[in-house]
Amino acid sequence: MSDHEQRIDRFFDRHLLPLVNVLEAAGVRHFPAGADPGVESYYRAPDDPAPALKTIEPTELAADLTALWATADPALLPLVEPLAELAMDLREEETEATLSPFIYVMF
């Protein structure tokens, strides 16, 4: 396992797994996993109806994530600093040239 993979795994164990229990206890659900007979439509109104352009700088990552989660998802705020640190640790120059034939690339 590479150094980067070890850091990513460590983040998963130290920061994500403990948060899972906290979120579960608080009844937080980030998305529905199936049909809901109680609603007429599955469309939702956009957060911002006008297309938006912004800047994203790695040095501003912590501030940007704080702004993103402060109101809507305060339970995620403990992840901000560790994520910003991880982003600095993981910086790479390039990604793989080929794609998996088995899964749609989602990130």
Which residue ranges make up the site for other proteins (CB under 8 A)?
A: 4-5, 8-9, 11-12, 16-17, 19-20, 23, 29-36, 40-46, 48-58, 61, 64-65, 68-69, 76, 79, 83, 86-87, 90-107
In whole angstroms, the minimum distance from the beta carbon of 29 to other proteins comes to 8
Shortest approach of other proteins to residue 74 CB, angstroms? Answer: 14
What is d(CA 27, CA 72) in angstroms, rounded to the nearest whole number?
14
Contacts 24+ apart (CB under 8 A), 13-22: 14/82, 15/78, 15/79, 15/82, 16/79, 19/75, 19/76, 19/78, 19/79, 22/75
Shortest Å distance, C-beta 71 to other proteins: 13
- Our CB check for other proteins shows the closer of 53 and 71 to be 53
